[in-house]
Structure 1
Amino acid sequence: MTAFGSVFMPEMAISWFDGSDWSATEVVASDSIQVHPGAHVLHYSSTCFEGLKAFRHKDGSVKIFRMDKNIDRFAQSSQLLGLPELNKETTSQMIRDIVARFADEVPAPPGSMYIRPTHIGTEPAIGKAAVPSLTSCQYILLSPVGDYFAGGDKALRLLIEDQNMRCPPHMGMVKSGGNYAAALQPIMHARAEVQADQVLFCPNGDVQETGAANFLLIDGNELITKSLDESFLHGVTRDSILTIARDMGMDVQERELSVEELMERAAKPGCEAALSGTAAVLAPVGTLIYQGQELDVGNGGIGETTVKLRTALNAIQWGEAEDPYGWLTSV
């Protein structure tokens, strides 16, 4: 089976900033990009990206899910990294045009077209460790993906890390490659040592996020997740799930959640936990590993409310339910 996100459309949209102006958008081959070996991004990680999806509906139309929200975060990440300012309307047009170009390649549900806008600092200057890149490049990659759960929907195992954090607190809300790199070693160790699927970072006992997804605790009608601050990623899927949960009448609580409270609640019958993100929407969590002990979340399986929330969001994305929030953009 082909790994998620490893197949790409043969062309991508691209634009370059020369220090004063953005170039006109071009469509070029997606299998190469030329930057100087001294490019800022290669030495000082001036890079950010987004992940969103386009979906094929039964009538043949193609819709992009929450593009505006993702572009807002893309522009914010660029600003926080000191990269040249993006023109959000230009980025939006780049996304719509390249998706339209490959509209026939957008898979039918449960597949989708994964969209990866990327912004990198290109100035060739290895002496600018503490100075931002004056030039940059943005491009839009497309990757057709299948059903994330094609291998079977399974409850994940999370190792709770209550000392270290995923990334520096002021960088948490930036969707940058450096944050994912920082989490890689702890995740690799967790997989090797306790066969965990992911690490749940809880610095000083404060439940935050995993290496690649936001964390949600579902206890009966309560849905609890950390309130937004700059220390962790403001997930678009997280926001979508919380919106749907509120409209379903759930008690959504965005607040501090301690490891102690998490473990106490997770042991209760019927409790659920899930990870939210673009790829899987909501992935169930069945086991928490903490201080050498394993604890089943609820019954240790896939929770009913998790499936219900994921199904509701998928139905909007796939055009099987009304979009009351205006989340879908036509191509």
Structure 2
Amino acid sequence: MRTEQDTLSFDITPNANPMPEADRLEAFKALGFGTLFSDHMAVIRWSADRGWHSAEVTARAPFPMDPASAVLHYAQEIFEGMKSYRTADGRAVLFRPEENAKRFNDSARRMGMPELPEELFLEAVDKLVEIDAKWIPEGEGSLYLRPFMFANESFLGVRPAREYIFCVIASSVGPYFKGGAKPVTIWASKTFTRAAHGGTGAAKCGGNYAASLIAQAEAAQHGCDQVVFLDAAEKKWVEELGGMNVFFVMEDGSLVTPPLTGTILPGITRNSLIKLARDEGMTVHERLYSFEEWQADAASGKLKEAFACGTAAVVAAIGKVKFTEGEFEIADGQTGLVTTKLREQLVSIQRGRSNDRYGWLKVLDGV
């Protein structure tokens, strides 16, 4: 039997009152992160009786929401983060969007939500970028894309909802960290943890980030840019930052990064950097790495560099680590050669400046 989902196509309704071009170009002169939004959004709805239906691209606008909407009470919500770039020859490209589609469904399964067919996820992203292509900044900026899904059934009761909304919005962005590519300072939280085994650490759900905010505020109070979390069981092993994975560069040229054991997010940037490093002949160890080891290796010189990575920040060197008992510096607080090399390799592929031997770029024709 054919369902609505089998024949689903997007209704396109252009925004009747888009931002004036002069205002958009003026805003492009001082791009921050996540505050300047494009004119449109892509939306698909799901219900238990109809499946996925009512796909549209329309003017970005608030959702009418009942006070009993399930997401407000039980936090059934997931999201993705991805970017569209404008290459030097004028093409609009996406970086590994199929990986975002796969991870989105991994999150959906963990959160008891319906899976969205990957082709629908990708089509929604494509349609939004196509209609808002002028929002892709040239130069070092990018169009940050936020696909997300939330429970929208109105009820009070602890069970998976029977209605959901999937949406994609877009934001023209500059650098994630203020001050450009300088090394960041990290706060190692020994009070708060992010996730435990059997929990939602590997899912990209809002609750993980909500739980990290108090630790991020603690980091800011100590003059730090980000927080790094230790494991929940022993508070010993380094896991990830509030929104990024972490790598360590050792004196023998090898890399160490925490393993995917279900408590950290399987980052697409992380996966890409591991591939690039191994193809450059570097050894990459996905293993447990303790905070004490981090301190000792930094003091002895065995640790040469450390960096964080994610879609928003791409690659950011870690120059200093602070914690309750003190602080320590890595490589005199400077960005190391390996960090610089891997970042440049990745960014060159993302922006179409070098040969994409992996087929990671998706070119949007006619955009």
For normalisation by structure 2, the TM-score amounts to 0.86
Aligned partner of 1:227 in structure 2 is 259
1:218 and 1:126 map into 2 onto residues whose CA distance is: 49
SS in 2 for 1:171: coil
Q: CA deviation at 1:149?
A: 5.7
In the alignment, the residues of structure 2 paired with residue 70 and residue 256 of structure 1 have an alpha-carbon distance, to the nearest angstrom, of 26
Q: What is the Cα deviation at residue 150 of structure 1?
A: 6.5
**2:143–2:172: 8 Å Cα contact kept in structure 1?**
yes
Question: Residue 278 of structure 2 aligns with which residue?
Answer: 246
What is the root-mean-square deviation in Å for CA atoms of aligned residues? 1.6
Matched, 1:11 2:40: yes
**For 1:42 and 1:274, how far apart are their aligned partners in 2?**
35
1:217 aligns with 2:251: no
SS class of match (2:168): strand
Cross-structure match for 2:328: 295
Q: Which has the larger radius of gyration?
A: 2
Report if aligned partners of 2:31, 2:172 keep a CA contact under 8 Å in 1: no
Q: Which residue in 1 is equivalent to 2:148?
A: 118
Structure 2 residue aligned with 1:266, among 275, 298, 301?
A: 298
Post-superposition offset of 1:148: 3.9
Gaps of 5+ in 1: none
Residue pair 2:304, 2:330 contacting (<8 A) in 1 also: yes
Whole-Å Cα distance in 2 between the matches of residues 88 and 326 of structure 1?
18
**In structure 2, how many angstroms separate the alpha carbons of the residues matched to 1:310 and 1:158?**
19
- Which residue is 1:52 aligned to? 82
2:24 alignment counterpart: none
Contact 2:31 2:174 in 1 (8 A): no
Does the C-alpha gap of structure 1 residues 150 and 191 become closer, same or farther in structure 2, counting only changes over 3 Å? Answer: closer
Alignment match of 2:351 (pick from 297, 315, 318): 318
Q: Which amino acid aligns with 1:265?
A: D
Q: 1:188 aligns with which of 217, 237, 252?
A: 217
Residue 100 of structure 2 corresponds to residue 100 of structure 1: no
Match of 2:4 in 1: none
State the one-letter code of the partner of 2:99.
K
Q: Which amino acid aligns with 1:172?
A: G
CA apart distance, 1:133: 0.8
Say which SS state the counterpart of residue 140 (structure 1) adopts: strand
CA displacement at 1:291 relative to structure 2:
3.9
Asked if 1 retains the 8 angstrom alpha-carbon contact of 2:32 and 2:174, the reply is: no
Question: Is 1:142 matched with 2:144?
Answer: no
CA gap 1:268/1:110 in 2 versus in 1, 3 angstroms: farther
> Unpaired segments of 5 or more residues in structure 2?
1-29
2:101 aligns with: 71
**2:133, 2:187 → 1: CA distance?**
40
Among 15, 27, 43, the residue aligned to 2:57: 27
Question: How far off its partner does 1:24 sit?
Answer: 3.2
Matched to 1:160, the amino acid is A
Distance 1:150 1:178 in 2: 26
Counterpart-to-counterpart distance in 2, 1:271 and 1:278 = 24
CA contact 1:83–1:132 (8 Å) conserved in 2? yes
Shift of 1:163: 5.6
Corresponding residue for residue 157 of structure 1: 185
Q: Are 2:31 and 2:173, in contact at CA under 8 Å, matched by a contact in 1?
A: no
State the shift of 1:295 in Å.
0.5
Note the C-alpha offset of 1:80: 0.8
Query: Helix, strand or coil: the match of 1:22?
Result: strand
Task: Give the aligned partner of residue 42 of structure 1.
Answer: 72
CA contact (8 A) 1:55 1:109 kept: no
Deviation at 1:2, TM superposition (A): 4.5
- Measured in 2, the distance between the counterparts of 1:2 and 1:312 equals 24
Instruction: Report the secondary structure of 2:148's partner residue.
Output: strand
1:162·1:206 contact (CA, 8 Å) conserved in 2?
no
SS in 2 for 1:100: helix
Identify which range, 19-28 or 226-235, moves more after superposition: 19-28
